[in-house]
């Protein structure tokens, strides 16, 4: 074979190879475009599903207590877990003479008012860490101690702080409520609070569960709310014992609530004196300050008392610090 023929043969082989590579590149480009399109469609579907899930979760958050909602979406909630016996502080409230008031106002205004009122009260409950169990018309049930607890004393204190702030907020909103919703009288809310052991957790059937608390302590709190006067926060002796260092109470009152087999000692919370108290609770201490008649001498004594512990803690910290010259001398 001549050199020319060999060269032509070689060129044909290279041409065939180039043609094959060209077809392969085109095929790869087409496949790459197809994969890109599939990826784009998958991304759009993921975003659509994400928006759908966010929409569903937002709707669910309106039906569930904040604490329960967080547990569900963090994956920490065990729906198969049965109820537990825990010590809770339970809050019940309702609007005094609401039936009579609602008969004097249009149904649309009542509906708008309830939405406004329950939104205001819910914001305060969430601020203090209360678990909103349910709304029953104008009535509200909230408890402290599950699913999170700060200890029975702090739980009870948070509940009373919440109740007082609610009453203060209601008083501040009176002009707005009268003007916007046509209320014929001032809004007055009754509150009952009790502390006791309850069964709390998931109750219901295999197809539908309700997270709530049940027990005699719940019934007592509900009955105390019925016994409370307009604008009063009425607490049981069980609750008072836990928080009597932080609040002022009226003299003992004994009531015989319907459905409760024994008399219940209860006390009204004094807003004015309680509001003037500043308190802090720790694992090893409890400090309460009533600033109504706080004098300069009181402040000096308090500073000296606290500085003694602060200086002692600082000295101990330095003595354990390797950079402290005294620690080196001891070694």
**Domain spanning 79-291: which superfamily?**
Nucleotide cyclase, GGDEF domain (3.30.70.1230)
Please, are residues 142 and 125 in contact by the beta-carbon 8 Å criterion? Answer: yes
pTM over 0.75: no
Burial class (CB in 10 A: 0-12, 13-18, 19+), 67: middle
Residue 323 backbone phi and psi in degrees, to 5: -80, -10
Q: Are strands 264-270 and 189-204 parallel, antiparallel or unpaired?
A: unpaired
Task: From 87, 103, 114, select the one nearest 238 (Cα to Cα).
Answer: 87
* 278-to-54, 57, 64, 130 alpha-carbon distances in Å: 41, 38, 33, 21
Where do the structural domains in the chain lie, given as residue ranges? Answer: 19-63, 79-291, 292-322
User: What pLDDT score does 311 carry?
Assistant: 66
pLDDT by residue for the chain (331 residues), tens only, comes to 677 677 777 777 777 777 777 778 888 888 888 888 888 888 888 888 877 777 766 666 666 666 666 666 666 566 666 678 999 999 999 999 998 888 888 888 899 999 999 999 999 999 999 999 999 999 999 999 998 899 999 999 999 999 999 999 999 999 999 999 988 888 999 999 999 999 998 887 777 778 889 999 999 999 999 999 999 999 999 999 999 988 989 999 999 888 888 899 999 998 765 555 565 666 666 566 666 566 777 777 777 777 877 766 655 555 555 555 444 444 4
């Amino acid at each position: 074979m001549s050199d020319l023929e060999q060269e032509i043969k070689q060129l044909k082989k290279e041409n065939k190879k180039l043609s094959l590579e060209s077809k392969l590149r085109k095929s790869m480009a087409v496949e790459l475009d197809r994969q890109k399109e599939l990826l784009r469609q998958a991304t759009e579907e993921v975003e659509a599903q994400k928006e759908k899930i966010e929409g569903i979760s937002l709707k669910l958050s309106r039906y569930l207590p904040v604490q329960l909602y967080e547990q569900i979406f963090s994956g920490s909630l065990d729906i198969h877990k049965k109820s537990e016996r825990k010590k809770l502080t339970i809050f019940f409230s309702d609007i005094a003479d609401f039936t009579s008031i609602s008969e004097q106002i249009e149904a649309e205004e009542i509906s708008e008012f309830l939405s406004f009122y329950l939104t205001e009260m819910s914001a305060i409950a969430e601020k203090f860490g209360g678990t909103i169990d349910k709304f029953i018309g104008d009535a509200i049930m909230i408890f402290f101690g599950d699913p999170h607890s700060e200890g029975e004393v702090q739980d009870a204190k948070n509940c009373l702080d919440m109740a007082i702030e609610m009453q203060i907020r209601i008083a501040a909103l009176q002009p707005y409520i009268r003007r916007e919703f046509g209320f014929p009288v001032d809004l007055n809310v009754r509150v009952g609070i009790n502390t006791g052991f309850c069964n709390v957790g998931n109750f219901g059937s295999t197809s539908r569960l309700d997270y709530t608390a049940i027990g005699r302590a719940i019934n007592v709190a509900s009955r105390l709310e019925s016994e409370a006067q307009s604008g009063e926060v009425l607490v049981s002796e069980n609750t008072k014992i836990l928080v009597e260092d932080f609040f002022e109470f009226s003299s003992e009152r004994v009531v015989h609530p319907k459905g409760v087999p024994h008399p219940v000692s209860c006390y009204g919370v004094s807003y004015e004196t309680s509001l003037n108290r500043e308190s802090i609770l720790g694992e090893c201490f409890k400090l309460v300050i009533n600033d109504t008649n706080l004098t300069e001498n009181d402040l000096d004594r308090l500073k000296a008392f606290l500085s003694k512990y602060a200086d002692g803690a600082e000295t101990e910290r330095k003595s354990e610090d390797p950079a402290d010259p005294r620690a080196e001398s001891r070694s």
